[in-house]
Amino acid sequence: MPVIPDEFLDLMAEKFRMLADPTRLAILRALMAGERSVGQVVEETARNQANVSKHLKMLAEAGLVSRRKEGLQVFYKIDDPLVERLCHLVCETIVEEAREGMDRRRALLDGWGGEGRSRG
């Protein structure tokens, strides 16, 4: 894999910054199912409209989502294929870490074998 140029670091940090907020992640999760109106995103994320609109604007300015207007409604969709890939990769990592943690705890419990129970 090539070395990441210094010029990319700020751009990378901005993408990670956009993904580092639970509200923005909830919005992106809603948009992974397809294009949504602002009202649909508000309903699916259970956040208030002002907050959702603010975060949608940030995501659009960062190039992660695109918007289109139809009459009075504004629709958003994911515009960067990296978003879904990265979210799925992180989720897979979280699941794998949880499994490994459970395996370690199971091994600890299996190794316990009841020693020390009969002390009294």
pLDDT in tens, the chain (120 residues): 889 999 999 999 998 999 999 999 999 999 999 999 999 999 999 999 999 999 999 999 999 999 999 999 999 999 998 899 998 999 999 999 999 999 889 888 888 876 555 545
- The yes or no reply on domain 6-80 and CATH 1.10.3720.10 is no
Residue 69's beta-bridge partner residues?
74
Consecutive H or E run containing 46: none
For residue 108, report the phi and psi dihedrals to the nearest 5 degrees: -65, -45
Rounded Cα gap, residues 55 and 85, in angstroms: 20
Q: Which has the closest alpha carbon to 25: 73, 69, 86?
A: 86
Provide the residue ranges of all domains of the chain, joining segments of one domain with +. 6-80
Q: Where are the beta strands (DSSP E) in the chain?
A: 36-37, 65-70, 73-78
Residue 25 confidence (pLDDT): 96
